[in-house]
């Protein structure tokens, strides 16, 4: 193996291998997430994480319709190969149908890492795949220290855990906000058909989606996020936040309290069990700042809190705190910006 | 359909309201003398099973917990909330420190087979390790369909569940054939409190104990924890007097 490396790889690669003491070069498979027409942005963060592992990055795109998405992903920076599996059976991206496909792909290519974004799609899929391969999956990583060493948060982000894996392949979900996305262009991947598998599965069935339609940027990818909590009092008052959001080109989020009270839909929830965001600017309006909410936003660059209770815990993490009635402060802020 | 047998996974975790502390040796968090409770998502999973029993869809509910002797309290709570019997897979000391979702999933899958369960309920994630893996892995090991992050469950005919799932952009509807695994999201239901009479009655409900060896599962950890540290502390911020000052400060740091 040593002579093979000596002959094949450049001096730089060899010293890199020596420096990091990694046993072999990684080869990663990223499972693309898409909606049939566009790539979900989180996929580019997963490719970004795969690039940090070194070695070749292969992307698998599976679905009922992959044509447009394949075109997009073939151009993604850093992707060397794109495997495409277009089949009606993948409608709805059920973990039950994708798992045999990925197992077959793994059998053929023997990747050292299999990654997906830590959204609902990846969280649903990766553990199912891991159990089939008999490996311990690693959820929601925020850092890569080596080929088998990963960093993640536990206890709602109140502790940071570093783990090393003794499994031959690492199955990982990637926290999008922790890894810079790979560029959407600049690459030219070879496109190949994914290994074919005879999947006929009728134990689960995709029946459809009800997606929240929003003109505003997607919550996890937005540069600015404005979130409302119980202090908003009702759903209509969120209009105040939408007005401010439009002024800033921001996305609108919410605390669990606001979602549970029925002010806004659940996919707007920021927190330990909702979305994790890390924008340039996070404005928390009428949010007390429970541990579970902080878990979803405390890595934001600048945090602003607007709350009339000066003792609200949110002020402990806010860079700028304004103790004032939100119904006065938010319209004023919108007007003056 | 009144003959479905349900199993509910109940994890004992540090109470959600406790502010955790990292151990001085940076190998874990302080758990001694700290208030523990049932993982909030498991309470929701259990509540759903109990409601299905009240609708005569489910005939028996088995609550299971894997961990130290203190898990018995968690299981007593489950029995008081409406589970019919409990199984404690006792895992102590160092083995418990290294217990990971893959090993737990293997034990649960074994129990599900032994107990001839038709529907397995789990919380979507435990609030301590935040893994969000166990339900999916149990489904995988059994080759059962999985309905994760469920926010509404209905039955259709005698062998199908219609499940509404919480996904990134909104909601999704799927159907799964039984036997199946369901993981509960926050908005599935509002769990009930155990009443005093039910807590008393729970003491008389069947309770069995077993070991990982009896289940024939190797629980050796696959992931080695290298360190557990505090997250970086944010520098203290400042309070601004009014909206104008806020705007000035935001402009100074260049975010607006």
> From first to last of its 256 residues, what are the pLDDT tens digits of chain B?
568 999 999 999 999 999 999 999 999 999 999 999 999 999 999 999 999 999 999 999 999 999 999 999 999 999 999 999 999 999 999 999 999 999 999 999 999 999 999 999 999 999 999 999 999 999 999 999 999 999 999 999 999 999 999 999 899 999 999 999 999 999 999 999 999 999 999 999 999 999 999 999 999 999 999 999 999 988 889 999 999 999 999 999 999 8
Residue A324 with chain B: CB contacts under 8 Å: 242-243
CA distance A47 to A174: 10
**Does any CB of chain A come closer than 8 Å to the CB of residue B35?**
no
Q: How far apart are CA A178 and CA A300, in angstroms?
A: 11
* A120 touching B (Cβ < 8 Å): yes
Looking up residue A79, the CATH number of its domain turns out to be 3.40.50.620
The answer to whether residue A199 sits within a structural domain is no
- Sort out which chain A residues have CB atoms less than 8 A from B125's CB and list them: 273
- Answer whether A124's CB lies under 8 Å from B134's CB: no
| Tokens linked to A26 | 């990684």
Q: Is residue B80 part of a domain?
A: yes
CA dist A188 → A32, A41, B10, B84 (Å): 16, 18, 49, 59
CATH of the domain at B133: 3.40.50.620
pLDDT at residue B97, rounded to an integer: 93
Domain presence at residue A211: no
Please tell me the total count of domains within chain B.
1
Beta pairing, strands A251-254 & A302-307: unpaired
A303 three-state secondary structure = strand
pTM given for the model: 0.92
d(CA B94, CA B110): 23
Of A154, A204, A192, A193, whose CA–CA distance to A175 is shortest?
A154
Q: Is B239 domain-assigned? A: no
Domain for residue B30, yes or no? yes
A11 touching B (Cβ < 8 Å): no
Structural tokens at position A326: 């939100």
Does residue B248 belong to any structural domain of this protein?
no
CA distance A310 to A324: 9
Which pLDDT score, from 0 to 100, does residue B124 have? 98
Question: What one-character DSSP code corresponds to residue A5?
Answer: H
Q: Which residues are CB-contacts of A8 (< 8 A; sequence separation ≥ 6)?
A: none
- Rounded Cα distance, A151 and A165, in Å: 11
> Is residue A238 domain-shared with residue A176, that is, in the same domain?
no
CB contact at 8 A, A289 and A157: no
A252 and A181 within one domain: no
Identify the CA nearest to B101 among candidates A274, A166, A138, A141: A138
User: Chain A residue with minimal CA distance to B13?
Assistant: A155
Owning domain of residue B190: 4-231
pLDDT of residue A212: 87
Strands A190-193 and A170-174: unpaired
Environment class of A24 (CB within 10 Å of its CB; exposed 0-12, middle 13-18, buried 19+): exposed
Q: Which residues of B touch A132 (CB under 8 A)?
A: 140
**What is this model's ipTM?**
0.96
State the residue range of the domain holding A308: 219-336
3-state secondary structure at position A211:
strand
State yes or no: A271 annotated in a binding site. Answer: yes
Which residues from A are below 8 Å from B228, CB to CB? 154, 159-162
CA A82 to chain centre: 20
Q: State the pLDDT at residue B75.
A: 98
The residue of chain A nearest to residue B127, with distances taken between CA atoms, is: A155
Percent helix, percent strand, percent coil in chain A, to nearest 5? 35, 25, 40
Q: What residues pair up with A30 in beta bridges, in sequence order?
A: A59, A115
User: Residues in chain A with pLDDT < 50?
Assistant: 1-21, 23
Alpha-carbon gap, residue A70 to A172, rounded angstroms = 23
Between the CA atoms of B214, B215, B220 and B222, what dihedral angle is there, to the nearest 10 degrees?
Answer: 180
Whether A257 and A187 share a structural domain: no
A288 is in an annotated binding site: yes
Which of A99, A35, A20 has its CA nearest to residue A66? A35
Residue with tokens 């909606």: A35
Q: Are residues A277 and A237 in the same domain?
A: yes
Backbone angles phi, psi at A332, to 5 degrees: -65, -45
Closest by CA position to A126, among listed B148, B69, B236 = B148
Q: Chain centroid to CA A328: how far?
A: 35
Tokens of B104: 């737990």
Name the DSSP letter for residue B26.
S
Per-residue pLDDT, B236: 82
**Cis preceding-peptide flag for A156 (omega within 30 of 0):** no
Give the chain B residue whose CA is nearest to the CA of A123: B132
Contact A246/B at CB under 8 A: no
Q: Are the Cβ atoms of B141 and A153 closer than 8 angstroms?
A: no
Is position B243 within any domain?
Answer: no
- Compute CA distances A297 → A71, A131, B68, B173, whole Å: 34, 31, 34, 29
Q: Are both A90 and A44 inside the same structural domain?
A: yes
Give the total number of structural domains in chain A. 2
Residues A172 and A61 in one domain: yes
Q: Is residue B253 part of a domain?
A: no
* Same domain (yes/no): A181, A240: no
Q: How many helices (H) and strands (E) does chain B have?
A: 8, 13
CB contact under 8 A, B223 and A329: no
> Sheet of A149-154: strands edge to edge?
A190-193, A81-86, A56-63, A27-31, A113-117, A170-174, A138-146, A149-154, A159-165, B223-229
* A103 CB-contact burial (10 Å; exposed 0-12 / middle 13-18 / buried 19+): middle
Q: How far apart are CA B145 and CA B165, in angstroms?
A: 14
Domain boundary among A145, A176, A193: A193
Domain of A278, CATH number, reads 3.40.50.1220
Same structural domain, A240 and A187: no
Residue A328 confidence (pLDDT): 98
Yes or no, beta carbons of B185 and A136 under 8 Å apart: no
CA-closest candidate to residue A131, choices B23, B140, B157, B213: B140
On whether any CB of chain A is under 8 Å from the CB of B88, the answer is no
* pLDDT for res A24: 59
Output the six-digit token pair for A125. Answer: 């899929």
């Amino acid at each position: 193996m040593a002579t093979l490396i000596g002959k094949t790889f450049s001096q730089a690669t060899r010293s890199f291998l020596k420096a990091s003491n990694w046993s072999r070069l990684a080869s990663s498979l990223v499972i693309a997430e898409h909606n049939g027409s566009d790539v979900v942005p989180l996929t580019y963060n997963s490719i970004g994480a795969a690039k940090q592992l070194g070695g070749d990055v292969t992307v698998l795109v599976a679905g009922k319709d992959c044509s447009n998405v394949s075109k997009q992903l073939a151009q993604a920076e850093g992707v060397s190969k794109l495997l495409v599996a277009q089949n009606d059976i993948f409608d709805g991206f059920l973990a039950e149908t994708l798992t045999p496909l990925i197992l077959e792909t793994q059998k053929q290519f023997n990747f050292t890492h299999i990654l997906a974004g830590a959204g609902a799609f990846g969280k649903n899929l990766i553990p199912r795949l891991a159990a089939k391969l008999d490996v311990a999956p690693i959820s929601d990583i925020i850092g890569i220290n080596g080929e088998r060493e990963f960093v993640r948060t536990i206890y709602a982000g109140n502790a940071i855990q570093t783990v090393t894996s003794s499994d031959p392949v690492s199955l990982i979900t990637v926290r999008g906000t922790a890894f810079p996305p790979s560029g959407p262009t600049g690459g030219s991947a070879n496109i190949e058909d994914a290994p074919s598998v005879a999947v006929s599965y009728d134990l689960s069935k995709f029946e459809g989606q009800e997606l929240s339609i929003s003109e505003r940027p997607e919550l996890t990818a937005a540069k600015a996020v404005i979130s409302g909590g119980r202090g908003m009092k009702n759903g209509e008052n969120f209009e105040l936040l939408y007005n401010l959001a439009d002024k800033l080109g921001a996305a609108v989020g919410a605390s669990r309290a606001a979602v549970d009270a029925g002010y806004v839909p659940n996919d707007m929830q920021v927190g330990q069990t909702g979305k994790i965001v890390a924008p340039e600017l996070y404005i928390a309006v009428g949010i007390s700042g429970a541990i579970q909410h902080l878990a979803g936003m405390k890595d934001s660059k600048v945090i602003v809190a607007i709350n009339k209770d000066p003792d609200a815990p949110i002020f402990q993490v806010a860079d700028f705190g304004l103790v004032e009635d939100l119904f006065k402060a938010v319209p004023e802020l919108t007007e003056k910006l | 359909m009144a003959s479905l047998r349900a199993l509910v996974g109940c994890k004992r975790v540090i109470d959600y309201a406790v502010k955790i502390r990292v151990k001085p040796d940076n190998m874990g968090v302080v758990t001694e003398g700290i208030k523990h409770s049932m993982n909030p998502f498991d309470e929701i999973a259990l509540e759903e099973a109990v409601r299905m029993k009240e609708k005569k869809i489910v005939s028996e509910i088995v609550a299971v917990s894997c961990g130290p002797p203190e898990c018995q309290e968690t299981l007593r709570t489950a029995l008081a909330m409406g589970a019919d019997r409990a199984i404690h897979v006792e895992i102590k000391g160092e083995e418990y420190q290294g217990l990971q979702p893959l090993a737990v999933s293997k034990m649960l899958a074994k129990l599900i087979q032994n107990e001839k369960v038709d529907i397995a309920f789990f919380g979507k994630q435990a609030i301590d390790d935040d893994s969000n893996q166990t339900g999916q892995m149990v489904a995988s090991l059994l080759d059962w369909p999985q309905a994760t992050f469920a926010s509404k469950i209905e039955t259709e005919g005698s062998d199908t569940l219609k499940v509404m799932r919480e996904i990134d952009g909104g909601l999704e509807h799927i159907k799964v054939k039984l036997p199946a695994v369901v993981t509960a999201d926050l908005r599935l239901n509002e769990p009930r409190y155990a009443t005093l009479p039910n807590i008393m009655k729970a003491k008389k409900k069947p309770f069995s104990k077993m070991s990982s060896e009896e289940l024939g599962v190797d629980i050796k950890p696959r992931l080695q924890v290298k360190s557990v540290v505090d997250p970086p502390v944010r520098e203290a911020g400042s309070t601004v007097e009014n909206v104008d000052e806020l705007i000035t400060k935001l402009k100074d740091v260049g975010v607006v």
